[in-house]
Amino acid sequence: MRYECVKAKSLLSKPHVADSWFHMNRSLNAYRGCEHGCVYCDGNSEYYHVDNFYSHVRVKENAATLLRKELKKLGFTSKSELETETLWSFLDDEDAKRIAEKVPRKLVIGACGGVSDGFQQAEREYKITYRILEVLLDFGMPVFILTKSNLVLEYIDLLKEIHERSFANVVFTITCADDEVQKVFEPNASSSSERFAALKEIRKAGLFGGVMATPIIPTIGDKVDNMTKLAKATKSANGEFIQFGGMTLKPGRQKEYFMRVIKRRYPENYDALVRIYENNNTYGQPIWKRLPANVMVLGRHVCQQVGLRDRSVRHKIPHEYDSNNKVLGVLLDIIFRMNMFFGLPRSVTKPYWEVAAKIERGVEDLSKLQSEGQIDQHLIIDSSMKVTVEEILEKGTCKVLQNLEARIDRMVDTELDADISASPDEFV
Ligand code: SF4
């Protein structure tokens, strides 16, 4: 393994607005390259321009300093600066509130990225992620972590401090219930059972946490048995949810490496996988009709059997209104269901996304606006969207989401043979 210390020029990603997958606003990579060596890893594709992805890890040694600078540039002030520059501790609550109101709304920072795991082995030596988390604590930023390593447990005290100031949401990627199968596909990550044990500890410590069961490998992981075991283990670790997802294979390095491993370890699955991905789609999308199972639909079914949420949870950001968080959570569920289950065009999800984005950027308390009859003026929405928002405020859900979920449940009943190109009109 080759580690190379590099000076990064920038760290934070462009803003993620109304992100219906991970509910984060910005993300970062402490490292480039990842020694976990997952056979299906998207980061290995040419798309990310990281050569020798699995064996050459670039360590961003200046990441914490850079993050501090970038957060300040975005208008945030750290607690340590407030204490020295404004004698924060002598301010009464009202003064403190006024100062807090002048700083921008907190961002959920994903201390993970597409091209690395922040808790890979290099972290033991360089502690870049640890220093990043210290900065995020100082700035009071909520943190989202996605990892395949139980090394995260060594930082539990720091994460608890973050959770006290804002929140820490630690999500484990776990795709194979069987540790032996998992070792084939994620050779250097913690075993699946270690990750479930780590999730249990995270939850015991009072932090948020769940499981992203993605990518589920077609013909191997998409069996009811594997998926049910994953859901049951998540539930017994007290995870908040398990969210299933399929696998993309970009043509080139990523697909070639994956197929070589399949040929060697699962020769009986090789031909089927070649056929599923023979379209060489630029984004790695499979030929949907050739998939043995729709893992999203099966995942919902499995979660219903086990009694577990099949969707990630949107948590309230500090100083955010409860009602706004409630509406955002449902709108993001709608967008996710429309996109991932039905592949509906952007023109259908756009109105929901626009309202979600508006709320996320900051509007008044929606409950208050509702009681004053001012929701449509503030959100600038039409009457049907107003009905949806008001329904969510009153019931915590709405007809659009209920219709989508009812349709998904019917897809389960018809054993995944349903027409997935449903008409948008069916949901509104
Ligand atoms: S942990 Fe994530 S980034 Fe690392 S090799 Fe696996 S899939 Fe890729």
Testing ligand 1's pocket by substitution, the residue of 1, 116, 257 carrying the most ligand atoms inside 8 A of its CB is 116
Say yes or no: CB of residue 26 within 6 Å of ligand 1. no
Whether 278 has a pLDDT exceeding 90, the answer reads yes
- Nearest residue to 147 (alpha-carbon basis) of 184, 199, 108: 199
Any ligand 1 atom below 6 A from CB of 36: yes
Residue 416 lies in domain? 322-427
In short, whether 45's Cβ falls inside 6 Å of ligand 1 is no
Please choose, from the candidates 24, 39, 47, 265, the residue with its C-alpha nearest in 3D space to the C-alpha of residue 143: 24
Atom number in ligand 1 closest to CA 53: 5
> How would residue 104 be classed by pLDDT, with cut points 50, 70 and 90?
confident
**Does residue 330 form part of some domain?**
yes
In a domain, 316, yes or no: no
Report residue 227 CA to chain centroid gap.
19
pTM of the model: 0.92
The pLDDT value given to residue 191: 98
pLDDT at 49: 83
Whether residue 302 is found in the same domain as residue 328: no
3-state secondary structure the chain: CEEEEECCCCCCCCCCCCCCCCCCCEECCCEECCCCCCCCCHHHCHHHCCCCCCCEEEEECCHHHHHHHHHHHCCCCCHHHHHHHCCHHHCCHHHHHHHHHHCCCCCCEECCECCECCCCCHHHHHCHHHHHHHHHHHCCCCEEEEECCHHHHHHHHHHHHHHHHCCEEEEEECCCCCHHHHHHHCCCCCCHHHHHHHHHHHHHCCCEEEEEECCCCCCCCCCHHHHHHHHHHHHHCCCCEEEECCCCCCCCHHHHHHHHHHHHHCHHHHHHHHHHCCCCCCCCCCCHHHCCCCHHHHHHHHHHHHCCECCCCCCCCCCCCHHHHHHHHHHHHHHHHHHHHHCCCHHHHHHHHHHHHHHHHHCCCHHHHHHCCCHHHHHCCCHHHHHHHHHHHHHCCCHHHHHHHHHHHHHHHCCCCCCCCCCHHHHC
Instruction: Determine whether the shortest distance from the Cβ of 32 to ligand 1 is under 6 A.
Output: no
Whether residue 269 sits in one domain with residue 389: no
Residue 115 shares a structural domain with residue 176: yes
CA–centroid distance, 270 to ligand 1, in Å, is 22
Pairing label, strands 31-32, 56-60? antiparallel
Peptide bond into 424 cis (omega under 30): no
Domains held by the chain: number: 2
pLDDT digits (tens, 9 = 90+) for 10-28: 999 999 999 999 999 999 9
Ligand 1 near 116 CB (within 6 A): yes
Q: Are residues 203 and 328 in the same domain?
A: no
Is the pLDDT reported for residue 103 higher than 70?
no
Atom of ligand 1 nearest to the CA of 115: 3
- Ligand 1 in contact with 148 (CB < 6 A)? yes
Question: What pLDDT does residue 83 have?
Answer: 64
Give the number of the atom of ligand 1 that is nearest the alpha carbon of residue 189. Answer: 1
- Residues listed for the chain: 428
- Same-domain status, 369 and 272: no
Residues 406 and 264 in one domain: no
Asked if residue 142 and residue 239 are part of one domain, the reply reads yes
Whole-number Å distance, alpha carbon 110 to ligand 1 midpoint, is 15
> Based on the number of CB atoms within 10 Å of its own CB, is 89 exposed (0-12), middle (13-18) or buried (19 or more)?
exposed
Q: Can you tell me which atom of ligand 1 is nearest the CA of 116?
A: 3
pLDDT beyond 60 at 184? yes
pLDDT in tens, 204-257: 999 999 999 999 999 999 999 999 999 999 999 999 999 999 999 999 999 999
Residue 79 pLDDT exceeds 70: yes
Close Cβ partners of 347 (under 8 Å, ≥ 6 residues apart): 424
Q: Whose CA is nearest to atom 6 of ligand 1?
A: 38
Residues 137-177: tens digit of each pLDDT: 999 999 999 999 999 999 999 999 999 999 999 999 999 99
Q: Is the CB of 117 under 6 A from ligand 1?
A: yes
**Could you tell me if the CB of 248 is within 6 A of ligand 1?**
no
Q: Is 381 in the pocket of ligand 1 (CB under 6 A)?
A: no
CA distances from 22 to 74, 108, 172, 209 (A): 22, 10, 12, 11
Ligand 1 contact, 151 CB (< 6 A): no
Q: Does one domain contain both 360 and 272? A: no
Q: What is the pLDDT of residue 88?
A: 47
Q: Which of 28, 31, 34, 191 to mutate to test the pocket of ligand 1 (most atoms within 8 A of CB)?
A: 34
One-letter identity of residue 240 = E
**Same domain membership, residue 362 and residue 221:** no
Task: Specify whether 60 is located in the same domain as 202.
Answer: yes
Instruction: Evaluate whether 338 touches 404 at the Cβ level (below 8 Å).
Output: yes
Residue 100: CATH number of its domain: 3.80.30.30
- Would the CB of 379 count as within 6 Å of ligand 1? no
147 CB under 6 A from ligand 1? no
Segment 83-90 shows an average pLDDT of 52
